Chains A and B, each alone.
Chain A
Amino acid sequence: MTATIAFKELLASVRTLRFVIIVLVCCLLVPVSVAVLSNDYLAEKGDYEGRKALEDGREGGRIQEVGVFRPVPQLMALFRGVSVHSINGIELNDDPWNVPLSSTVQSPTEAVFPTVDLTFIIGFVLSALAIILSFDSLSGEKAMATLRLLMSNSVPRSSLVIGKWLGLTAALLIPFLLGMVISLMIFILITGIGFGADIWLALAANTGAAVLFISLYILLGIAISALTKTPSQSIFIGLGIWGLLTILLPQIAVATADSLVPVPTIKEVEQNIRIATNEYYQETRETNLELVERARQEGWEWVRLRQARRDHEYPRETRHRHRVISMERDYWQRVLRQEELGRAIALVSPYGSLNQALISMADTGPESQRHFIEQAYDYGLWYFDELVDDPNDSPTDEKAAAMAPFEYKPLAFVSRLEAAILPLLSLALTNLILLAVGVVAFNRYDVR
C-alpha cells in the first residue's frame, strides 16, 4: 500500500511545473558549478606542482627555511569547504616565524558574488525546493477535498504519510542524482583524473548525507502540512522554519560558542610574540656589543666576528623558536576549543550538520587543515632540531639536502568518516523525529 502511494505521489509530482523547475536547477546549476570548479581544481593542482618543483629545485638555503605543501583534495571541485581559506603550504623557518602560505584560486568577486558549490546548492537551494515540493502535500489535498476520498479507501494514515515522504523524496532525488552523474562525468572529462576507491566511498557517503538532508526537509514540509489547515498557512510556517534552520541557527551556534570560549584576537597574540622577540633581540644585541668590544681590543678579523656572532645566535634562536611555537600552540588550542564547541552546537541546524558532514568527507573540512598544520609543524621541529643537533657544528647545505623530505599523509577515510558520523547521526535523528511528528500530527488531522 505504502509503495503504491509513494509511486503515485512520484508520478503526480513529475507532471507538475515544480518538477520541471527542479530538473532545470539540478541539471543546469549543478553541472555548471562543477565544471567551473573543476577548472579551479586543475589550477590549484598546477599551483601545488609548481610550488613543489620550485622548492625541490632550490639550490641550498634550506638551512634557514624549508617549504612543505599540501596536495589538493580532489573533491574540492564539488564541496569547497574551507579550502578557499585554507593553508595549503607552510614555509618553515629556523627563526620562529613559520609563514603559512594560503594562496588559493579565488575569484576577486568572491566576497560579493560567492562561488556556488554543491554544498551551497544542496543546503540552500534544494532544501527550499524540498519545502516547496512538500508544503501542501496534506493541507493541499484537504483544500482540494481529495484527502477525504483517499481516507475513505481505508488507507492507514501512517502509510499515507510514509508513502508521501518516499514519493516526494524520490521526486527531488532523481533530478539531483541525475545532475550529480552529469557533473561527475564533466569533472572527469575536464580534469582527466579518475577517482580512487576512497574518493568513491566519500562520494557515496556524501550522497547519503544529501539524501538524509533532502528527506529531512521533505519530512519537515509534510509535518508542517499535517499541522496546518490551509496551504497558505503551511508555506508561511515552512518558509519561516527554513530561514531559521538554514540561516539563523548556524549563526547563533557560532555566536554562542564565541561567548562561551572567548579567544584573543590574533594580533594580540602576535604582539605578545613580538614582545618576546624584542626581548630576545635585546639580549642578542647586548652580547653582540660585548663581542664587538672584545673584537676591537683583540683585533679580530670581521669574518671571525661574524662567526662568533653566529655561534651564540643559533642556540639562542632555537630556544626562542620553541618559546614562540608554544605560545602559538596555546592560542591554536583555544581557537580549536571554540571551534569544536561551535561545531557541536551547529549540529542542531540541519544545514550545519550537512555542511560539516560533506566537507569532512570531501577532505576540505577544518580537521583536514589542522591535520596538515600539525604534520608540518612536527616536521619543522624535527627538521631544524636534527639540523643543528651539534652546537659546535654549523648546519651545512649538504646536511639539509640529505634530510628526509616532507610527505603529507592525508586523513584516512575512516578518520574522515569519524568526523562526519556525528553530523550524519544528527541528520538521521532529526529525520526520525520529524517522521514521528508527521505521523502523529496526521493521525489527529481533520481530513474534512
Chain B
Amino acid sequence: MYIVKEEMGFSPPEFSTYVSAAAGSSLPGKSRKQYGSPERLIGYDGGTVIMKEIFLHEIRGAIFGGKALVAFVLMLAAFLISLGMMSREYDRRLENYSMSISLPAEQLFWNKIFFWEFDDGDFTSSDNSTEPLAKVKEPDPMIFFARGFDTEMRQGVNFLANFPIIELSKEPEQEKNLLHLMFPAPDLLFMVKVLVSLLAMVFAYNIFCGEREQGTLKLMLSAGASRGAVFGGKFLGGLVSVWTAFTAAFLVYLLALSFLTPVSLGGDAAARVALIYAVSLLHIAVFFGLGAVISAFTRNSAPSMVLTLFVWIVVVFVLPGLAALTAQQFAPVDSEDKVARLKFEKATDMEREYAEANPGVTRSYSGSYGARHDEIRHLIAAELQKIDDENERSKALQTALTSNLARVSPVGSLSHLFTSLSRTGIDDVRLFREDLLEIRTEMDRIFTEFVQDPNFLQLYMEGRFDIPEEILEVARPFIDVNRTAKFSVPSLSETLASTWIDFGLLGFFAVAAAALTFTRFIFYDPR
C-alpha cells in the first residue's frame, strides 16, 4: 500500500480510506492484486489492445443498443426544426431587403428635392419623414448557423432632411407579430448549445458509475485491463459515438440546407461551416467530459443523472445569464432615448448660440436651418457624432465585459465562435458600423455639393419645379454611392485571429475535464 502512495507522491483521502479498509479485517483476502500494481493503476503497461477492445465495444454498444440512433434522431429533428424556422425568417429578411433596394433611388431623391422649400433665400426641407434612401446590408445566409447580432446589422443610412443631413438609423423592428419576438426561431447555435450539450452529457453520465453498478467494472479490472485502458476506451468510445451521431445529423442538415433552401454558401463559407463543425465537436468533447467527471465522482447512476442535469442547467442557462446581468450592473449603457435626448439638447444649445451670434438668421417653420448655414450644421453634426461615439464606447465596454464573463462557461466561448464564424459576431458589428459611417460621410458630402450648386439654385428661384437632366447628373454620384457601396466582409483569417482564445478555452475545458476524470478514476472504487 505504502509503495503506491510513495510512487504517486501524494495521498488522497478517499484512496487511503478504501485502501486501509481493504487492508483491515472486514474484507479479508483482498490484497494488493485487487487494486493493481502502481503501474497498472495509472496504465502504462501496454494496455492498448485492451483499450481498443473497450473502445470498440463502447461504440458497438452505442450503435446497436440504439443510444446513438436516438441521439441522431433527436439531433436531426432539432436541426431540421431549426432549419424550417430559420428559413422562414431568412425568406422574410430577403423579401424585406429586396423591397428596400427596389425603390427607385432617383424617384426618392426627386421627392426629397421637391419638398424642399425655398425660404428666406435658403433651402430647408418641409418634409421631416425618415423616407429612406437607405443603404441596407444584404442578409447573410450564415444566419442559419447563428443569428447572433444580425439585428444590429439592420441599420441603414437614412436620408433625413434635418441636421445632420444624413443620419444613421436603426431600422424599426420588421417583425410585427409579437409572438415571433416572444418565441424567436431557434438557430443552429441554440440547438447545439441546449440539446447537443445535454445529449453529450447524457452519453457520459454513467460511463463509470453505471459499470460499477452492474458489477462489470470489477470484472474488467480483474480481467487485466489497466485503469488507463478502461478510462481511455470508455471515454474515447463514448465520445466518438456522440461525434458520429452529431456528424450524421450535421451532414443531413447541410444537405437539407443546400437542397431545400435557396441558400448557396459560396466564398469562404465552406471553410467557415467546416470550422463550425469542428467547434461543435470540441463543444461535445467538453460536455461529454463534464458528464464523465460527474460519473467518476458518483457511485450510482441516479444521483449522477441528477447532478448532470444540475450542472447542465447551471452551465448552459445560469452562468451566461449571470454574466450578462453582472456586466449590465457594472458597465451600464445609456438607453437610445437618453442618447437622443442628449443629442437634442446639445444641438439646441449650439443652435441658440449660433442664432445669438448671427442676429439676421431665421429658422424655417420646420425648425431647422437650411443648407446655407452649412458650417454650423456640420459643427453640430460633429458634436452629435461625439455623443454617439461615447455611447458606442460604453456599449463596447459592456459587450466586452459580458463576453469575457460568459467565457466562464464553455457556452460563452461556443456562442462567440459560432457567431464570429457566421459573420454575425461582435467584431462584425463593429466592422459594419465603420462601413456605414463611411458611406454616410460620402453621401453627406455629395448631397451638400448638389444643393449648393448655383445652377440648381438659380433654376429653383425661377420657380422651375422640374429639374433638368443636367442638374440631376450632379446627383448621380449620390445615387451611385447608395447603389454601389459595399459592406466589407471579414476574411476567415481575421475571424480566426479574433477567436483563437475561444478555441483555446474550449480545448482547455475539454482537456481539463478529461484529465480530471482520469485522475479521479484512478482512485475509483470499483466494488
Contact = CB atoms under 8 A, between A and B. Distances in A.
Interface of A: 17-18, 21, 25, 29, 32-33, 35-36, 39-40, 43-44, 46-47, 50-51, 54, 61, 64-65, 81-82, 84-85, 93, 95, 97, 99-109, 111-116, 120, 124-125, 128-129, 132, 136, 140, 143, 231-232, 235-236, 239-240, 243, 247-248, 250-251, 253-255, 257-258, 263, 265-268, 270-271, 274, 278, 281, 285, 288-289, 292, 295-296, 302, 305, 331-332, 335, 338-339, 342-343, 346, 352, 355, 359, 366, 369
Contacts of B344: 54
B332 to A, nearest CB: 7
B124 interface: no
Interface stretch (B81-89, B243-251, B377-385): B81-89
Contacts of B317: 116, 124-125
29 contacts: A18-B306, A21-B310, A50-B341, A102-B172, A102-B173, A103-B337, A104-B335, A105-B335, A109-B399, A111-B147, A112-B415, A120-B321, A128-B309, A132-B310, A231-B301, A247-B186, A251-B81, A251-B183, A266-B174, A267-B100, A281-B111, A289-B465, A292-B465, A335-B176, A338-B179, A339-B177, A339-B179, A355-B182, A359-B182
A82 B174 CA distance: 14
A50 B183 CA distance: 32
Given A29-B322, A36-B329, A115-B324, A247 B194 contact: yes
Contacts of A235: 305, 309
A265 B328 contact: no
A352 B74 CA distance: 22
A137 to B, nearest CB: 12
Given A17-B307, A103-B335, 4 more contacts: A43-B332, A266-B96, A268-B95, A274-B103
B514 to A, nearest CB: 24
A114 B403 CA distance: 12
B399 A108 contact: yes
Given A29-B318, A47-B337, A111-B152, A132 B179 contact: no
Contacts of B293: none
B509 to A, nearest CB: 18
Q: Top 9 nearest A-B pairs by Cβ distance?
A: A267-B99, A116-B321, A103-B336, A103-B337, A47-B337, A113-B324, A250-B183, A267-B96, A366-B178
Greatest chain B CB density within 10 A among A40, A143, A254 is at A254
Given A111-B147, A250-B183, A125 B313 contact: yes
A24 to B, nearest CB: 9
A40 B313 CA distance: 26
B325 A281 contact: no
Interface in B444-495: 463, 465-466
A184 B198 CA distance: 33
Contacts of A64: 128, 366
Interface in B172-212: 172-174, 176-183, 185-186, 194-195, 198, 202, 206
A281 B114 contact: yes
A73 to B, nearest CB: 15
Nearest to B110: A281
Contacts of B463: 292, 295-296, 305
Nearest to A97: B129
Nearest to B339: A103
B441 to A, nearest CB: 23
Contacts of A115: 321, 324-325, 328
Interface string B253-280: 0000000000000000000000000000
Nearest to A40: B328
Contacts of B302: 136, 140, 143, 231-232
A36 B310 CA distance: 24
B125 to A, nearest CB: 12
Given A46-B338, A292-B463, A338 B324 contact: no
Most buried by B among A81, A251, A295, A346: A251
B150 interface: yes
Contacts of B96: 265-267
Contacts of A369: 178
Given A39-B332, A235-B305, A108 B395 contact: yes
B358 interface: no
Contact of B320 (A113, A250, A266): A113
A267 B102 CA distance: 11
Interface of B: 74, 81, 84-85, 88, 92, 95-96, 99-100, 102-103, 107, 111, 114-115, 118, 127-130, 147-152, 172-174, 176-183, 185-186, 194-195, 198, 202, 206, 301-303, 305-307, 309-310, 313-314, 317-318, 320-329, 332-333, 335-338, 340-341, 344, 366-367, 395, 398-399, 402-403, 406, 412, 415, 419, 426, 463, 465-466
A111 B150 contact: yes
B189 to A, nearest CB: 9
B321 to A, nearest CB: 4
A47 B463 CA distance: 45
Contact of A51 (B100, B102, B115, B337): B337
A166 B166 CA distance: 63
Given A61-B367, A115-B328, A266 B318 contact: no
A183 B366 CA distance: 48
B77 to A, nearest CB: 9
B398 to A, nearest CB: 6
A335 B399 contact: no
Contact of A116 (B127, B194, B314, B324): B324
Contacts of B340: 103
B335 A43 contact: yes
A82 B332 contact: no
Nearest to B194: A247
Contacts of B327: 107, 109
A218 to B, nearest CB: 15
Contacts of B129: 93, 95, 97
Among the interface residues B177, B320, B329, B366, which one has the most CB atoms of the partner chain A within 10 A? B177
Contact of B341 (A51, A102, A107, A267): A51
